[in-house]
A = this chain, B = another copy of it.
């Protein structure tokens, strides 16, 4: 019988709390609530019929092999497909050998931290930052250093200053960042690259939302300017479906070699049937129409939210106007607490995520995140107008 839980757990897990967002999502799961809290893709857009066809084709054509153990690196044609996209789109010098299939890009980050981070290593993150990254990285006990985000990417003076001492890794979400919706401009990418080029810091470019650009021009990853110093993370969760947990890492070969060792220890390989379904969908389904549908739907939902914010929110708030992705970031006057707003909004059956948890070093108390990908324009109008009413009352 185990009686003494003191000292049972490793230090690394004692500092990390359950995700705050998880608790919020439980509240928001009430079906009467209009929720802008989650980060879920719209399930109406899932390619259900294509996936069903893929399941039937695969099980009829090669049922035994798609259900067997597979390789740690992932399904070779899927890895080649991912590499090909990088070559075609950005002229990157990568092959299937540079691609490791992971359980969502979240696992890519966990494996990178596992092979790279010693306790106390300085890790630079955006502020506000992606919660999943903060949680994954925290378990390896780094010293977090933060750089504030502006409308065009990291604030460059603060970014430069962060390198006064060596930085092991810079975790970034350059396209339609979660939670802010911010995209690094081409100019800022160039300046970030220039600073990084004078260091041995590894850049992680996490890009779950890049394919969800519904207006404006795509901007190449910083990797095009920093070579093997950048590691790319990608995901099929927002383009195909989240349920399979499929993402990837694109890294230089010496890093890949260690990632494979870590992946073997973690779970041998990623769900192989899911890999085959996604590959089938890309090669034999209608991915182009599917992506066009998603982008059009999210553009309509984003426009609805932007318009409703302009119509119903008080004038002294600021908000981002993303050209893609799933999130808008709202900043209220400094004295207004988004946690208080949350409590009042829940009474009115509207949910969002307050800003605090996205900051590892305080801040964000007057900010919050809105998600528009999983609500239709009618829900958006109803929810935003209620939220505007609550904010106006608070500010009176």
A contacts, CB < 8 Å to B: 1-5, 8-13, 16-19, 22, 40-41, 43-44, 46, 48, 51-52, 55-56, 59-60, 63-70, 72, 102-104, 106-107, 110, 114-118, 132, 135-136, 138-140, 197, 200, 202, 226-229, 237, 241-245, 252, 254-255, 257-258, 260-262, 264-274
Interface contact B60-A43, CB-CB below 8 Å: no
What is the chain B residue whose CB lies nearest that of A5?
Answer: B254
Interface contact A43-B56, CB-CB below 8 Å: no
Residues of B within 8 A of A3 (CB): 200
Number of identical monomers bound together in the oligomeric complex:
2
Interface contact B258-A106, CB-CB below 8 Å: no
Interface contact A51-B59, CB-CB below 8 Å: yes
Q: Which of B4, B257, B264 contacts A200 (CB 8 A)?
A: B4
Interface contact A266-B10, CB-CB below 8 Å: no
Q: Which of A43, A52, A267 has the most CB of B within 10 A?
A: A267
What are the 6 tightest A-B residue pairs by CB atom distance, in nearest-first order?
A: A48-B63, A43-B64, A103-B267, A55-B55, A67-B241, A107-B267
What is the chain B residue whose CB lies nearest that of A116?
Answer: B10
Compute how far the CA of A339 lies from the CA of B244 in the bound complex, rounded to whole angstroms. 40
Residues of B within 8 A of A70 (CB): 243
Interface contact A268-B227, CB-CB below 8 Å: no
Interface contact B245-A114, CB-CB below 8 Å: no
Compute how far the CA of A4 lies from the CA of B201 in the bound complex, rounded to whole angstroms. 10
Interface contact A110-B267, CB-CB below 8 Å: yes
What is the chain B residue whose CB lies nearest that of A13?
Answer: B115
Interface contact A242-B69, CB-CB below 8 Å: yes
Residues of B within 8 A of A115 (CB): 9-10, 12-13
Residues of B within 8 A of A8 (CB): 116, 200, 202, 254-255
Residues of B within 8 A of A13 (CB): 114-115, 258, 261-262
Residues of B within 8 A of A269 (CB): 245
